[in-house]
Amino acid sequence: MTRLAMRFAAVDLGASSGRVMVGDVSSQKLVLTEAHRFPNEPVKVRDTLHWDVLGLYRGVLDGLRAAGPVDGIGIDSWAVDYGLIDEAGRLLGNPVHYRDARTDGMTLPIGEDKLYALTGLQKLPFNTVYQLLAEPLAPLAHRMLLIPDLIAYWMTGEVGAELTNASTTQLLDVRTGMWATGLIDELGLAAGLLPPLREPGSVIGSFEGTPVYAVGSHDTASAVAGVPADGPNFAYISCGTWSLVGVELDEPVLTEESRRANFTNEGGVDGTIRYLRNVMGLWLLQECQREWGDSDLAGLLAAAADAEPFAGVIDVDQPVFLPPGDMPGRIADALFTAGRNVRSARGAIVRCILDSLALAHRRAVREAAALSGRRVDVVHIVGGGARNELLCQLTADACGKPVLAGPVEATALGNVLVQARAAGVLHGGLPALRAVLRETQQIRRYEPRGDQDRWQTLENRLWG
């Protein structure tokens, strides 16, 4: 007999912190609480930037102890990065950070058009396929495990690759949902390096007697499952360090126009396609805060609200903004080149970031709709960016569409919902799960204001 209420632990590993959240779920409620949060700080050793994956694992275990008894555990994280294990299951070195420079300038011995038609992924220099070809330890490895699968392996002893995260490697056939074995052979990678695939909702194994479930282990897959949409005609922006901007589809879009527009087709929960573009996101603001030593985000946003709007906009996806370092200086240099001198004005720099992000959101939403044929009536912003009222309003203004902001914890909620359905406490497809979110989570609506012509002029100025 199905229990009326159950508790699930969502392990959510982000690029700057990890946390363990606990979801109390019944058919009438979904309450999320934080059990434990811990930093995720990369470590540079000589010339290579690594993740401290053992520190992350310790944080996960501490969080699960703090959570207390639960009925299931699900793990999600950022995409593309991995650990290599040998035949005895031992880790071969700390995983390398996707912002490391080892793949700069790399090319693949296969045409970009052919690769896109097979994998559906946009060209990004840090995709797993590039990392593996730059990986000196690959010939010594028995298996490659993406970060959530590595943590799950340490917890359960079971080896596998969850589909939504596997779809970000550029080694998965987007049409069949299977590893692209021909491509793997053509690239000279060992056929056995990639583990068996598993679906969200399947049981991986157990940890101290508790089931460990495969969820949408790419955090954006869980975040999109956590979008409280009502019907199919929506765009989403999973807004944090990155802004993942797109629409949810039943089939991939593999046209040459889609490839040239740099859109990606990633796997989602229940066999959906996350058709999206990666936009640099709040990384620019986070790096400015780090450089300034200024943790007063509210004060910076207030200064940005008072700053002159549209005094300068930048293409946030330029490669110069990808690495860590002097972000305010790089933004000021870009604006100075465009005839604006804002080197010492923090409010102006933050306003530039937010105006530019809203403009990039507009462009991505409009192109996703045009290339996919999916009508967009409303834009959902989930994740940490849903707290940023100025960014949400600017995005509504730029897109000319209502913006529904929230839930902030969409990733953890999507993780918990997939577990709850697998355990039998919830039922139905994504529409049914999203109905639970609309009934239980706070969502704020922003109506568009102002003149679309001004946004179009800015868009034309940057991208033609």
306 catalytic? Reply is no
Place of tokens 């529409």: 431
| Count of CA atoms in the C-beta half-sphere (13 A) of 226 | 38
Residue written as token pair 């049409």: 175
CA distances in angstroms from 446 to 373, 431, 456, listed in the order given: 25, 23, 20
> What SS3 state is found at 133?
helix
Taking a C-beta distance cutoff of 8 angstroms, is the pair 101, 130 a contact?
no
User: Contact 340/347 with Cβ under 8 angstroms?
Assistant: no
Residues 6+ apart with CB under 8 A from 382: 223, 226, 227, 236, 237, 238, 239, 405, 406, 407, 408, 410, 411
Tell me which DSSP letter residue 242 carries. S
Q: Is the peptide bond before 407 cis (omega within 30 degrees of 0)?
A: yes
For 449, half-sphere exposure in the C-beta direction (CA atoms, 13 angstrom radius) is 6
Contacts of 282 (CB under 8 A, 6+ apart): 239, 240, 241, 243, 357, 384, 385, 388
Catalytic residue among 12, 81, 149, 219: 219
Q: How far is residue 307's CA from residue 379's CA, in Å, rounded to a whole number? A: 26
Q: Which of 196, 245, 198 is nearest to 217 (CA)?
A: 198
How far is the CA of 311 from the CAs of 121, 137, 164, 255, 450, in angstroms? 34, 48, 40, 36, 17
- Catalytic (active-site) positions: 219
